[in-house]
Structure 1
């Protein structure tokens, strides 16, 4: 059953902790359509990952993200980068050791390419070619640290075995559900039903349409980069604004500005040689992951171009 705190602010009972560009936006939207579930309006619940928010305390985070939730609802949260941070996973466990943790994973080759175009869209990626970004990844992380460059860690964020292993070791098998993006695409209602059952909730046939978070690009990359600079956690201007304006207001303005600067986009096909190189690089990691989660991942990196476009 979902653990509940006796404190005024209800604990997070279910948390989607990763991974980026794997369908988590769609999944949290589907789950939130259950009449007994309430989630955050913001794209990500950043409390466990953000040092400043964590220091503010959960009561303030609850007021920011969940104060619209009725008392009888279960609290569901999502942040696609939590599983990559041992500290964030440990904070989640300290917050609620009985939290039901959900992980979505995608073919890491496809995930990396999708993440590159997403980073271009939000102004985090300044290089124009995927191959340039791959070549720069390790130096960027070495110079700036993963926290500063996590949006652009295209290969590193696809090495799932270690972070998934830490989540399983921290929460135990009975509190962790691992799905692939292919499972969510092919049987979304069944995936949702399994999450509800895992949380001890009544069955509810949720609406699983339409698909969320479709591919887009920035109309103006200069404007996108300016917004990315403004939203950087280390930006003193952002910190000053957060002291004088409500966090929810700032997040809503940010979403509106980003949405106004976006347009639909069909990604170009990945360079075949780049694909072959990544397939080989990820292969041993995928094999270790397959044994860890007891899922057949042999189809990864074998999808055709038409299949690739089913996930943004």
Structure 2
């Protein structure tokens, strides 16, 4: 079918899950059997940092191996006009922008940015939630490069994923600026009705009354049971197959229900020293990102 292709390309832990499940409500949007097919970051990517990894729980990530497999994840009908893919690996991937442009040069790309210090810490807590991380945050940061060298997947690239300027530039190299819609997590938190209305217009969808209270969030926390979390990670590796039998909404609800029982918030905060060090690490890239998107991000250095 002649559907417009739309991608929520990332960044991970920046509000992409909220946007995906709101857009899923729209009757003109076709969604896949899995939220993140990770197809376009999985084509000829030997040098790409986004690929199957060898770290704890890395086997839970779904990797779509062929275009036919990718198309089979969708069940579009006559009412659908947009095909949505929310694989957050696409922003960090060094090859996905080019692959998407080759697949459909008229694609629409949504990019959501977040204070990179907060994004790194949120992703760290995500790994804790899933029973994959066992080290304190500062130690995880110190181990990042060695984990990358060992071939652990992109979820462990806590600071590298927050260097947004090159990631955005790759999309500007392959798409017109009008095909990119760049917002921040703060936009989502401060004015969600306007954000989702603007995205609806950007994707060429009909006006729609979304249920803004029915949101899904990819919550982070500390796992009560490491063993149960790892069991869920193992199951997640088969979610593309499972969701061909069980509707994705039901399997997602079941997963969220389990996590609500298995997660405790914990007393997790970034120390002021670590926050200052990360702000220094990200400062130059934040300035470059500001220039690319034409928007002040100075608050990220002061939050």
Normalised TM-score (structure 1): 0.79
1:294 aligns with 2:303: no
| 1:89 to partner: Cα distance | 2.0
SS at match of 1:190: helix
Alpha-carbon spacing, 1:267–1:19, altered in 2? closer, same or farther (3 Å):
farther
Q: How does 1:152-191 map to 2 (within 5 A)?
A: 152-191=156-195
Unaligned runs of 5+ in 2: 44-61
| 1:50 to partner: Cα distance | 3.6
SS at match of 2:150: helix
Aligned residues: 279
Aligned position for 1:71: 78
Q: Which residue, out of 131, 136, 149, partners 2:143? A: 136
| 1:72 to partner: Cα distance | 2.3
SS at match of 1:300: helix
Q: Which residue, out of 86, 92, 100, partners 1:84? A: 92
Aligned position for 1:109: 117
Aligned position for 1:25: 17
Native 8 Å contact 2:21 2:215 kept in 1: no
Q: How does 1:42-53 map to 2 (within 5 A)?
A: 42-51=34-43
Distance between the aligned counterparts of 2:267 and 2:21, measured in 1?
A: 24
SS at match of 2:8: strand
1:215 aligns with 2:220: yes
Per-residue Cα deviation, 1:85-115 (whole angstroms, up to 9, x for no partner): 1222222112211010000000001001110
Alpha-carbon spacing, 1:170–1:251, altered in 2? closer, same or farther (3 Å):
farther
| 1:250 to partner: Cα distance | 9.3
| 1:259 to partner: Cα distance | 5.0
| 1:138 to partner: Cα distance | 0.8
Aligned position for 1:61: 70
Alpha-carbon spacing, 1:16–1:298, altered in 2? closer, same or farther (3 Å):
same
Unaligned runs of 5+ in 1: 1-7, 233-237, 304-312
Aligned position for 1:285: 285
How large is the RMSD of aligned CA atoms in angstroms? 2.8
Per-residue Cα deviation, 1:248-297 (whole angstroms, up to 9, x for no partner): 45996986468525334255221111111111111111011001100111
Native 8 Å contact 1:17 1:82 kept in 2: yes
Distance between the aligned counterparts of 1:203 and 1:230, measured in 2?
A: 37
Distance between the aligned counterparts of 1:121 and 1:167, measured in 2?
A: 31
More helix by share: 1
| 1:62 to partner: Cα distance | 2.5
Native 8 Å contact 1:122 1:258 kept in 2: no
| 1:34 to partner: Cα distance | 2.3
Distance between the aligned counterparts of 1:267 and 1:211, measured in 2?
A: 25
Which one is further off, 100-109 or 194-203? 194-203
Aligned position for 2:273: 273
Native 8 Å contact 2:33 2:243 kept in 1: no
Aligned position for 1:260: 258
Normalised TM-score (structure 2): 0.81
Which is bigger in relative contact order (C-alpha 8 A, separation at least 6)? 2
Native 8 Å contact 2:200 2:207 kept in 1: yes
